[in-house]
Chains A and B, each alone.
Chain A
């Protein structure tokens, strides 16, 4: 197996061919913020929180979807990157209606985690206060669009792991929404197996258990780990 050597934040690292910058950074205890990335799902590089600088490249690249190369020099925490990342998190907060105090995942939320990570003590942008739909037609779960950060984890897990492909994106720009086919109520969707995988991978309080109230819900992703281990041991193949 060929080995690649590279530098991440002045740390000499080695990785295997095919690994991403994010994976190697993690192995070397360099923390890069992520939101859309989730081990076990195909990377889509949607959120841009993992952007890094690579010497010699004119553009910033997403660490979650960029493969390592021999001799790469990567910077993950420059002033420019810090500034962009704080802006991204602030824009996410200003775009949805994230009222933490009344949210089911308050205290166990990946968007909050990111806020602490980038030092967001307040949002400098105007809050948009768009009106969003809440779909509570499903017998077990609720979808609150006002908290959705469009990471597409739910879409990917339902398609790639459960094989049901209930969700997809519709609309453009600021009007993008996660939607069932023909936007029919989730509870009427015939493909949904009620497995709850989308609910568990959702990083925020957009998808949640019907009986959960404020600050109550902690997502459980252990099923993904089991599936990954199964794949690695070739018990399950895709």
Chain B
């Protein structure tokens, strides 16, 4: 059997989930024996204009998606990635609940943009309108499961390396991960 093809994607999150992935430490070596990293922000696949590049997202067995859906790019990327992944995992609390990025749901988008780009800006006060450079914010930050079908939920802010390992191991061994306090944590 060939290697399992894994990809990871980074939407509206702080990259903490990816950092926690690196905390797999020596288990990364074990993982690399059986899995191949096809695409990930922590491999050297640089993205500058996300949508164009994500058109090339490869067909994979498993994708881990970090981050909430906060802007129009996130929606398009997520849809492409879903299509090309056999299994899609919501990776961390932002992807699962909206979490910290969703705090802005308490305010109107215009008020958020005004506050950041005009009221609190010291230079060049204007709200960027060129959506190729800065994608448009959605009215509300939403969990990825509100946009595409999600197969598994890997909770935690960030998920512990042990939770990540447990989930990946289960999937590699064709087992159903079991959601419990022993295997996962909120927050």
Contact = CB atoms under 8 A, between A and B. Distances in A.
Interface of A: 93, 97, 99-103, 106-107, 112, 115-116, 119-124, 126-127, 129, 131, 215
Contacts of B181: 116
Nearest to B187: A100
Contacts of A106: 186-187
6 contacts: A97-B103, A99-B97, A100-B93, A119-B179, A121-B155, A121-B184
Contact of A99 (B90, B102, B146, B152): B102
Contact of B99 (A99, A116, A131): A99
B145 interface: yes
B180 A116 contact: yes
A99 B186 contact: no
Interface string B160-187: 0000000000000000000111001111
Given A122-B97, A127-B102, 10 more contacts: A93-B97, A97-B103, A99-B97, A99-B103, A101-B100, A101-B157, A102-B100, A112-B187, A122-B90, A127-B143
Cβ-closest 10 pairs across A and B: A100-B187, A101-B157, A121-B153, A129-B105, A106-B187, A116-B181, A121-B179, A100-B186, A101-B187, A122-B153
Given A99-B99, A101-B93, A102-B100, A127 B155 contact: no
Interface of B: 90, 93, 96-100, 102-103, 105-106, 140, 143, 145-146, 150, 152-153, 155, 157, 179-181, 184-187
A97 B150 CA distance: 22
**Which of A97, A106, A120, A122 has the most chain B CB within a 10 Å cutoff?**
A122
Given A99-B99, A112-B186, A127-B98, A122 B180 contact: no
B97 A103 contact: no
**Which of A121, A126, A127, A215 has the most chain B CB within a 10 Å cutoff?**
A121
Contacts of B146: 126
A219 to B, nearest CB: 16
A161 B164 CA distance: 45
**Which of B97, B181, B184 has the most chain A CB within a 10 Å cutoff?**
B97
A5 B119 CA distance: 70
A182 to B, nearest CB: 26
B113 to A, nearest CB: 18
A107 B106 CA distance: 25
A122 B143 contact: yes
Given A126-B146, A127-B98, A129-B140, A103 B105 contact: no
Contacts of A131: 106
Contacts of A115: 186
Contacts of B180: 116, 119
A204 to B, nearest CB: 12
